[in-house]
Chains A and B, each alone.
Chain A
Amino acid sequence: MPFSKQDGQNTPAIAGISYAFPAGSRTVAELAKERQLSSSPETLQSFGFGSVHVAVEESPYDLALAASTRLLDEAGIDRSSVGLLIYGGTPGYMSFVSAEQAEEGAAGLCTMSRFKYPASRLQYDLDLPNAWTFAVDQLACTTLLGAARVARSLCLTEGIERALCVSSDFFPVNAGREAIFNCTSDAACAVLIERNGERNRLVSATTVTKGYYWDVDALRDEIVASYFPTARHVMLRTIADAGWAPGDVDWIIPHNVSMRSWQILSGLIRLPNARLFTDNIARHGHTLAGDNFINYRDAIDGGCIEPGQRVVLFAYGFGAQWTGVAVEA
């Protein structure tokens, strides 16, 4: 089901975005040498990937805390005004261990350590005494878009003033660095949603879930085939639910999957005036849930997106989830 702006109602908006990368990075060629890729480095380079961020000593929680702290410092808000904290990404106890210790972290999920939750710890460490805190899971790369959508709804329905959405992902060494021809990166991203905002308003969102594709290994071909028509459908519906025409869209803010797939999808959706923000694909790779908001912030900081422009954020996540969000900058 979509949500969409209704005339006369306040529109929740993005009040701030911050992110954190680990200290380490690898080029695609280096990843190939470390046998972290399934495809050749040349193929991935031709798809637009250059380098990715690789956590070694940092834990996902470290990155989540860093991104959230920076965001709250930048926003300069009264922390007691944050009524909601939604965490997503690396699950439970695994988020507290470094990439090198991922197996130990996974083992912790089978002990009483499973109840050591990063969401609760974030609420404490960030000093958000009034934030109802929970996590969202199983949305993969659409986690942060999903969290923002939930936050937006709760701002409207429960009068929550501010909500903090945080995602933090990492790829354990044994998982490799490639997911269906996309080079994956480690990162955390934090997004502050406010109930009333004049800039970066969340105008509409659409999510389509297709549970048939839950088995990502067995249905790999089917997922590739369904990706494009469903992505087109979701993006066009997001635009329509925002009350926009296709020609009204100024920017598409992508998740950082291959340039080739975005070229194909652009051909399918045909938004005549929309530009695609691709600057981060080569330098950051695919940070799973963080891409759209990291890109949105960079596009604003870089002067690409101007106030009032109409922007569509889109991501696909295993599960299978297709999510589009319309933002009026």
Chain B
Amino acid sequence: MTIPEKVFITGASGLVGEAVLRQLLTRNPALEAFVLVRNDLRWQLASRRLGPLATRVIPVSGDATLPGLGLDPLLRKRVECETVSIVHAAADTSFSRSLDHSRFINTLGTYHVTELASLCPDLTRLVYVSTAFVAGRGTGTMLECDNGADAGWVNAYEQSKYEAEGCVRASNLPWVIARPSTIVCRSTEGEIPQINAVHRALRVYHRGLAAMIPGDRVYKFDVITSSYVAAAIATLVQHPNAAGQTVHLCSGRRALTLGEMLDAAYDVWTECPVWRKCGFERTVITDAETYEMFERAVMETGDVRLRSVISSLSHFIPQLALPKVFDTSVAESLLDPAPDPALYWKPMLRRLLENNWGQSQEVAA
């Protein structure tokens, strides 16, 4: 009897991991998957969403932060023997964690995954799901390689992911580093699978609490769809020319500018007569220094609610004033083109309004 080819996936109950798992199982009917399960309840929900595909999934209890991924030794041996590819998508994506915490989950977790990978004799690919924002405070064109650490980072998440990339690069494995930018919706239809910092910032704008943001109208801000990211990662798992490549899963040169994004948001909000009646002003895009002065004034004196709003944005907002374009040359040589964000930005905004930023059922579904 032939043992079916297996992929090992971490973070399979998360936004990217689950979508990648679905893609891989759909593309290859003979493929089976080990998924690392840290939270049973979350996995059960994800498994239910997978439907019949879940019959080809073997959940294994463990935790990427533990040595040996916390796997039972016998089970671990089986994983090592049968796994031919690994997708490491597990991460703590919160921007507000301490550096120690982010490193513990994201960097140490990745190190443990590379340890496991090195013990898989038939491994053909390790795809590490990083983030385009390992570029941190860097500005200009970001290449699909290690752009260095000199610029520093906006938050601990970015730094921990950058350091995790280092673990992957240092391994002698057939790795691929996939760097998605900010996922804002599932497809060009604009469905929102998960609320993130961009959506929360838009909610602040919608509630009339966004006095200003740092940046410039012409600065680009890169967003992407989860369906593109999942399909791209599934391709990179098997692409013969991908080993040793760092790949931006981004809109790249087609990214919208801050001005375009905010104008579109204002246009969509004003479609609602009740919102229009409030007379909210367009948020001002200003320089980082003025924004910091405003932020400091609010933190020193503002009411609890406004302080909370400004504080929650502080781990993300500075990135807007750091203009960068993610080069996608490698991605274009290996993958289908990314969708044009102009196609899904407004539909996404309308979905936000319809589901009231995740208060209705769609986001959870």
Contact = CB atoms under 8 A, between A and B. Distances in A.
Interface of A: 39, 43, 181, 210-212, 220-222, 224-230, 232-233, 260-261, 263-264, 267-268
Contact of B290 (A224, A227, A267): A267
Given A233-B281, A267-B289, A267-B290, A220 B303 contact: yes
Given A264-B290, A267-B287, A224 B281 contact: no
Interface in B284-342: 284, 286-287, 289-290, 293-294, 297-298, 300-303, 305-306, 309
A260 B290 contact: no
A249 B31 CA distance: 71
Interface in B191-226: 207-212
Contacts of B284: 228-229, 232, 268
Interface pairs A-B: 10 shortest CB-CB = A267-B290, A229-B281, A221-B306, A210-B279, A212-B278, A225-B211, A228-B211, A225-B209, A229-B284, A230-B281
Contact of A261 (B286, B297, B305): B297
A221 B209 contact: yes
B79 to A, nearest CB: 52
A226 B282 contact: no
A212 B286 contact: no
Contacts, number: 65
Q: In terms of DSSP, what is the predominant structure of the interface of chain A? A: helix
Contacts of B93: none
B96 interface: no
Given A221-B302, A267-B290, A267-B293, A227 B211 contact: yes
A268 B305 contact: no
B280 interface: yes
B306 A263 contact: no
Contacts of A230: 281
B283 interface: yes
A229 B301 contact: no
Nearest to A267: B290
A228 B294 contact: yes
Nearest to A211: B279
Contacts of B281: 226, 229-230, 233
A263 B293 contact: yes
A6 B189 CA distance: 51
A233 B279 CA distance: 13
15 contacts: A39-B301, A43-B301, A210-B278, A212-B279, A221-B306, A221-B309, A222-B207, A224-B211, A225-B208, A225-B210, A229-B282, A260-B293, A261-B297, A267-B287, A267-B290
B207 to A, nearest CB: 8
B286 A267 contact: yes
Question: Of B207, B281, B286, B294, which is in contact with the most chain A CB atoms at under 10 Å from its CB?
Answer: B281
Contact of B211 (A39, A181, A229, A260): A229
A217 B294 CA distance: 21
